[in-house]
Amino acid sequence: MNDEKRESALYDELFDIQYDIVEVLEHLVNAEWDSFTLMNKITELLKQKNMIEQELYELDGAKS
């Protein structure tokens, strides 16, 4: 996959993960209780988001 297609795919994946994070946070707020399961899901989504952002940063650096 060329860099432009890879970058586009990463942005698509990042958007999906960010949407999932917001959705999980909304469930957490609406539930008004502590949830270890939701906390783990949020933590995992944030890790995925950070990994994608790092890949995008590296791709951007390769263009320069």
Buried b (16+ CB within 10 A) or exposed e, 2-41: eeeeebeebeebbeebeebbeebeeebeeeeeeeeeeeeb
- Give residue 2's pLDDT: 86
> Quick check: 51 pLDDT over 90?
yes
Per-residue pLDDT of 4-38, as tens digits, reads 898 999 999 999 999 998 988 888 777 766 678 87
- Give residue 37's pLDDT: 80
Q: Where are the domains of the chain?
A: 3-63
pTM of the model: 0.68
In the structure, what pLDDT confidence band is assigned to residue 64 with cuts at 50, 70 and 90?
low
